[in-house]
Amino acid sequence: MSYLEYSVKHVPTGLRKILHLNWPLTILLASVAGVGFLMLYSVAGGSFTPWAEPQMKRFALGLVLMIAVGMVPIWMWRNLAGVAYVGTVLLLLGVEFFGSVGMGAQRWIELGSFRLQPSELMKITLVMMLAAYYDWLPAKRTSRPIWVLIPIIMVLVPTFLVLKQPDLGTAILLLFAGGGLIFLAGVHWAYFAVVITAGVGLVTAVFQSRGTPWQLLKDYQFRRIDTFIDPSTDPLGAGYHITQSKIALGSGGWTGRGFMQGTQSRLNFLPEKHTDFIFTTLAEEFGFIGGFSLLGLYTLILVFCVAAALINKDRFSSLLTLGIALNFFLFFAVNMSMVMGLAPVVGVPLPLVSYGGSAMLVLLLAFGLVQSAHVHRPR
């Protein structure tokens, strides 16, 4: 069913739309953000500055943006998908040439006072693009090679650009999100079998390339993988992050050391305690119960998204919602795996909790799209 087919008159209009927002989802998002404020307050040593207060302001701004995006009819967003995708790819090319270098990577463009990270935006526009593509593509063509190749290129072009920055974490997220969406769209199993086989081959190639002139990853990325496999080999060097993070996490125990009582994060043992490693502070101060509760909140967000996607009869809306949910899942799954020593340190923030404006705004924009899809679903 396409938008041209269903009756718009059942769709709420004007400010009435606000009543039809996915409120449980909104409340869940706010709760997670609230956990974030609490932790930022704690790692700053019981102070709203320098992190908690700006984060709250940005969340408020993000919330307004989300609702604003949610009020815009979903078909408008579908029609903009192509433009948004091409625009973001161009921005990615832009950072390649004009971007600022931070932490050894070109990642953002300065737009006046606003610092834009196109790779963040890319996660959403890619999902939009793919959702729009599969909405347009007749079902019987879905698995035809030529029609499979097109979305693969759509995924690989930004992935490659992000990898060039170099931002391995985001590149992997893009790859998985894109792949997930292609899978959701119903592409034949065989393709995935081929891709997985090829992926294994690629990983082998990457490792084989080490030390040769054409090596595919930077040395530090190789080292990160090495220390991931065995962090104890370099406890004060490259493996330091993971070791310290595990100590902080483990010392939390069942109930944690209490709010603002975490020693590891407070005493600077933890690197990037307010950004990528904020989960360790939470787990240290609130223990297993705290960590598990946050995981529960994330799960609920996913459940609400998937439920919203499944009751939505519009294909674009469903795909978009699922894609954004998948993205969200990848975010926190990679971050939590990382701090728990299950994945290499790749620099992925914990969604809605880690300090960082760009990521939070982009995420709330994405949830704005989910809201829009929910509000304007065919009834």
Partner 1 sequence: MRRSRAETETNHAKLSRRAALLGGVQLLFMGGLAARMNYLQVDQADQYLLLAEENRINIRLIPPARGEIFDRNGVQLAQNSPSYRIVMVREDAGDVDDVMHRLAKVIKLDPEARDRAIAEVKAAERFLPVTVADNVSWDDLSRVSVNAPALPGISPEVGLTRVYPRGSDFAHIVGRVGRVSQADLDAQETPDAVLRIPRFQIGRINVEAREEALLRGAAGTKQVEVNATGRVMRELSRREGQSGADLQLTIDSQLQNYVQARLGDESAAVVIIDCENGDLIANASAPSYDPNLFIGGISSADYNPMLESKYRPLVNKTVQGNYPPGSTYKMVVAMAALEEGIVGPDETVYCPGHLEVGGRRFHCWKRAGHGWIDLENSLKQSCDVYYYDLALKVGIEKISAMARQLGLGIRHELPLSSVSAGLAPTKAWKQEMRGANWVIGDTVNASIGQGFTLASPLQLAVMTARLATNRMVIPRLIKSIDGVEQPSGGGEPLGMNENNLRKIHKGMHVVVNDRRGTAYRSRIIAEDMRMAGKTGTSQVRNITSAERARGVSRNEDLPWERRDHALFVAFAPSDKPRYAVSVLVEHGGGGSTAAAPIARDVMLQALYGGEPPLDAYPTADRGRISAQQEKLREVQPQATIKGKDQA
Catalog residues that contact partner 1 under the rule CB under 8 A: 1-2, 4-5, 136, 138-139, 180, 183-186, 244, 246-254, 263-264, 267-270, 283, 287-288, 291-292, 295, 298-299, 302, 306, 309-310, 313, 315, 318-319, 322, 326, 329, 333, 336-337, 340-342
User: 101: helix, coil or strand?
Assistant: strand
Decide whether 17 or 315 has the Cβ nearer to partner 1.
315
Strands (E), 70-172: 100-102, 105-111, 114-116
Please state, in angstroms and rounded to a whole number, the distance separating the CA atoms of residues 356 and 350.
Answer: 10
* Minimal distance, residue 46 CB to partner 1, in Å: 15
Decide whether 87 or 250 has the Cβ nearer to partner 1.
250
* Minimal distance, residue 292 CB to partner 1, in Å: 6
* Minimal distance, residue 4 CB to partner 1, in Å: 8
Q: Which amino acid is at 308?
A: A
Please state, in angstroms and rounded to a whole number, the distance separating the CA atoms of residues 123 and 92.
Answer: 12
Strand partners, 110: 115
CB 66, CB 364: distance < 8 Å: yes
* Minimal distance, residue 164 CB to partner 1, in Å: 28
Please state, in angstroms and rounded to a whole number, the distance separating the CA atoms of residues 280 and 318.
Answer: 34
CB 294, CB 279: distance < 8 Å: yes
Decide whether 120 or 284 has the Cβ nearer to partner 1.
284
Decide whether 60 or 139 has the Cβ nearer to partner 1.
139
* Minimal distance, residue 278 CB to partner 1, in Å: 15
CB 275, CB 371: distance < 8 Å: no
Please state, in angstroms and rounded to a whole number, the distance separating the CA atoms of residues 252 and 283.
Answer: 6
* Minimal distance, residue 10 CB to partner 1, in Å: 17
Decide whether 114 or 199 has the Cβ nearer to partner 1.
199
Decide whether 83 or 139 has the Cβ nearer to partner 1.
139
Please state, in angstroms and rounded to a whole number, the distance separating the CA atoms of residues 152 and 159.
Answer: 10
